[in-house]
Copies of this chain bind each other. A is one copy, B any other.
Amino acid sequence: MSGNTFGKLFTVTTFGESHGEALGATIDGCPPGLELCEEDLQRDLDRRRPGSSRHTTQRKEADRVRILSGVFEGRTTGTPIGLLIENTDQRSKDYSRIKDQFRPAHADYTYHHKYGRRDYRGGGRSSARETAMRVAAGAVAKKYLAARGVSVRGYMSRLGPFEMAFKSWDAVEQNAFFSPDAERVPELEAFMDQLRRDQDSVGAEVTVVAEGVPVGLGEPVFDRLDADIAHALMGINAVKGVEIGAGFAAVCQRGSEHRDEMTPEDGFLSNHAGGVLGGISSGQPIVARLALKPTSSITTPGRSVNVHGEAVEVVTRGRHDPCVGIRATPIAEAMVALALMDHWLRQRGQNGEFSG
């Protein structure tokens, strides 16, 4: 329990279900004096918002966030920041058919058995809608870090069979896929259109890069920075894998290849470590990748059981993303920013202010 709080010093506690009255978050531990307004949060919320392209769910949510406390005369006061988004476009009738069914690859089955009951409307708490609050809270962390020279940015590095090389950060913001290569977008669109015709979905990979992170963030031995980033990213809906730096490719590397050598002139000569050594940031860019599974909600019928143990054929209608990975980029950025922010305060608490 208490699983709905992230962080130790910069803590984010969220509540809310897909079709409940509202989503909320409380940020505790934000340093005082940070300039903050609702627009700062709205920007990232809009990047994550459903219905913004034909490749994502057609649910229309304004996702207008309100700051209810912790900000006075335009600056944070050091007391908790309360955030609220009222749900407006819940079509609960879409879901009533499946209230007794366990949709394959959904949390229906596990919530039902864990709690003995569940809010089946739109997946309840297990819906990706919950991530809106992560994005809002992450925007606070991003703003604090940005003022200290740290940027946290992500892009979609793979969409099913398509691998996208990094071209530029500008490209990322100019297409609905967060592709870092604008030229690949028509290809992705054609693929997604075919996928919809196939009544199917596909997985994706997102890469997050944090630049400007000072050396020294992360704690031995369990709360390493990379361990906490892994916790942050694997905790996002649909994520099945996390890599730092070379990741699984390190299995085939030799020590003479993997180790990042240094010279006085150039510092580190490579970054297989992904910016973390011994669980502590090295000052190099932090590079994390996450694998997202294909959306489970598809209209191709699937075999399952219902709460009575009977066989059922499940067809998920509703409004769903054919690739959850498409909207995952701002969420992944938010989670990395929250992990960095928490370690920033932890580092300062134990070791005092650092120059970075």
- Output the least CB separation between A26 and chain B (Å): 5
Interface hits, A1-19 → B, CB 8 Å: 1-11, 13-17
Determine whether A242 belongs to the interface, using a CB cutoff of 8 Å to chain B: yes
Query: Contact between A13 and B1 (Cβ–Cβ < 8 Å)?
Result: no
| Residue A57 interfacial (CB < 8 Å) | no
Contact of A246 among B23, B119, B226, B293 (CB under 8 A): B293
Q: Which residues of chain A from 298 to 356 have any CB-CB distance to chain B below 8 Å in the complex?
A: 298, 300, 302-305, 309-311, 325, 345-353
Q: Mark A99-124, 1 if CB is under 8 A from B, else 0.
A: 00010111101110111111100001
Stretch touching chain B among A48-56, A78-86, A171-179, A180-188: A78-86
Report yes or no: B291 in contact with A248, Cβ–Cβ below 8 A.
Answer: yes
- Of B28, B114, B346, the residue contacting A216 (CB under 8 A) is B114
- Interface assignment of A125: CB less than 8 Å from any CB of chain B: yes
B220 touching A4, Cβ below 8 Å: yes
Structural contact, B294 and A255, CB atoms closer than 8 A: yes
A79 CA / B4 CA spacing, docked (Å): 8
Q: Are A224 and B215 in contact (CB under 8 A)?
A: no
In contact, B15 and A70 (Cβ under 8 angstroms): yes
CA distance A249 to B20 in the complex (A): 34
9 A-B pairs closest in CB distance: A107-B278, A3-B219, A349-B349, A1-B29, A3-B223, A201-B255, A105-B259, A227-B235, A110-B280
Per the CB 8 Å criterion, the residue count for chain A at the interface is 155
Known A13-B13, A200-B256, A203-B250; further 20 A-B contacts with Cβ < 8 A:
A1-B28, A2-B9, A4-B79, A4-B221, A5-B5, A17-B69, A17-B79, A22-B69, A24-B24, A24-B26, A77-B124, A79-B119, A109-B277, A109-B282, A126-B278, A198-B254, A202-B255, A203-B258, A222-B231, A255-B294
Across the interface, which residues of B come within 8 angstroms of A347, CB to CB? 114
- Copy tally for this chain in the complex stands at 4
CB of A99, distance to nearest CB on chain B (Å):
11
Contacts of A26 in B (CB 8 A): 4, 13-15, 24, 26
A187 → B minimal CB distance (Å) = 16
CB-CB under 8 A for A303 and B231, given A9-B349, A16-B69, A124-B79: no
Among A209-253, those with CB < 8 Å from B are 215-216, 218-224, 226-235, 237, 239-253
Query: Chain B: which residue is nearest A346 at the CB level?
Result: B1
**A149 at the binding interface (Cβ < 8 Å):** no
C-alpha gap A219/B5 in the complex (Å): 10
- Assembly CA distance A75 to B119 (angstroms): 10
Q: Are B1 and A220 in contact (CB under 8 A)?
A: no
